[in-house]
Amino acid sequence: MAKNKLFKFNEITKMDHVLEPSVEMTLNNEIDYKGDWNSRFFKNDNPIILELGCGKGEYAVGLARKYPQQNFIAVDIKGNRIYIGAKEAQDEGLENIFFLRTKIDFIDYYFEENEVDEIWLTFSDPQPNKPNKRLTSKTFIDRYRKILKPGGIIHLKTDSDLLFESTEEQIAEHGYNCLFSSWDLYGDMEKLPKDSQDILKIKTHYEELFTKRGSQIKYCTFTVN
């Protein structure tokens, strides 16, 4: 297992569509691609969509397949997981997806104000004992607010009752604009536009596991600025 991880860590260092900035670079504000993602990496002016805590990058890869006129950046700290999505994207020749290996805590160090159009949070850790570590806590939302364009959308897709209830409470408490919310996504799917339905039918490995166990999938989307 250790050798397999080392192999994956080594392989992603060779990939042009994966970045692994050091903590020192980050904290010293030496991120020279901040504000320059489209011109430096994607070579276009298409919208930028982030998947935060991407795991194996399944959702971001699925979105990149469906929407070649949008740019996707999948973010996670686990290099062995990122390798799987990065390798899949490489094998398929997808040129509109990038992988960034870092902690979500630093996300506003990597993107300029108004640089990001949408953020996806797919099956994030509900952090039952650390509410401030939840990716929809005010701590993280304030970071997203810095980099999202005005009206930029945040999507949450989860199996966790705890995380979903907490998110709804955050939306109400801080006056975020909820666009859609459902405790039973697939039961309420027909209420959404066809394009949204196609996006939300993309399933990660974890979603497949959760639905097989009988978990109900929750989804909400909202804006914060």
In tens, the pLDDT along 107-164 reads 999 999 999 999 999 999 999 999 999 999 999 999 999 999 999 999 999 999 999 9
* Residue 186, phi then psi, degrees to nearest 5: -75, -25
| Cα–Cα distance measured from residue 33 to residue 186, given in angstroms and rounded to the nearest whole number | 39
Lowest-confidence pick of 81-85, 179-183, 204-208: 204-208
Cβ-Cβ contacts under 8 Å for 14 (sequence gap 6 or more): none
171 burial level (CB within 10 Å; 0-12, 13-18, 19+): buried
Dihedral sign of CA atoms 204, 113, 79, 8 in order: positive
**What's residue 220's pLDDT?**
97
Is 1's pLDDT higher than 70? no
User: Whole-prediction pTM value?
Assistant: 0.94
Q: Which of 125, 161, 184, 188 is catalytic?
A: 125
* Residue 110, phi then psi, degrees to nearest 5: -100, -15
Residue type, 168: E
Chain mean position to CA 85: 13
57 burial level (CB within 10 Å; 0-12, 13-18, 19+): buried
Is 36 considered catalytic here? no
Which single residue is written with the structure tokens 């993602």? 37
